Amino acid sequence: SQTIHQWPATLVQPVGSPLSLECTVEGTSNPNLYWYRQAAGRGLQLLFYSVGIGQISSEVPQNLSASRPQDRQFILSSKKLLLSDSGFYLCAWSDHDRLNYGYTFGSGTRLTVV
Amino acid sequence: GQQLNQSPQSMFIQEGEDVSMNCTSSSIFNTWLWYKQEPGEGPVLLIALYKAGELTSNGRLTAQFGITRKDSFLNISASIPSDVGIYFCAGRGTSYDKVIFGPGTSLSVIP
């Protein structure tokens, strides 16, 4: 069966520090991968998505970047964090060949920038 | 761009009551999805709908794909405390479109 892993679960980082969040998917190949951000009690904002290795599409201009160095690995990064980068970050995947099945989400990373 | 609206934005109900929430769109979708997010966790898919008029149940949850293809409804019968969370609707146009998420309905159940 397919599983998705995100880490770390929580992170407290000072303003101006770098960020690296990692997401990996197991049990499938060539997944579509997504990074979402959720402000407290709010909806899901799509940040990046990827349909293949090295292929990244950005949905909103921001202080963050994403990379996909391997088929089932998706990384969210920042060189210098801002206070406004705080939030709940969710990684998700979908089956490239079974798109109607929707997205499966990881358990999220709670980022607090102080 | 495509947008989804969910109502109500939040609900406070007594344990045992039935719950109804809906999701509307200005454009047509071919797939409707309902997710539940518990505090501190990622959203989990509850029900997927693929045909206009389709009615699908998952335990105490029932969802319907509106016949206009521009709306969907989720009902929860006999609510219990573990139903607490944010319920997101989501829709997709064609198979190649990204899934669009609504802003969510926050449900609180009073024991």
Averaged pLDDT score across all residues of chain A? 92
- B11-41 CB burial, b ≥16 within 10 A, e <16: beeeeeeebebbbbbeeebbbbbbbbbeeee
- CA quadruple A97, A99, A101, A103: dihedral, nearest 10: 110
How far apart are alpha carbons A3 and A9 in whole angstroms?
16
Give the residue from B2, B3, B41 with the most A CB atoms within 10 Å of its CB, the best one to mutate: B41
- Which chain A residue shows the shortest CA-CA distance from B41? A107
| pLDDT for res A98 | 67
Range with lowest mean pLDDT among A15-24, A91-100, A104-113? A91-100
Residue B93 or A97, more confident: B93
User: Chain B interface residues facing chain A, Cβ-Cβ under 8 Å?
Assistant: 31, 33, 35, 40-45, 48, 50, 86, 88, 90, 92, 95-96, 98-99, 101-104, 106
Q: Residue B95: its pLDDT value, please?
A: 67
Within 8 A of B99 by CB-CB distance, chain A residues are: 94, 102-103
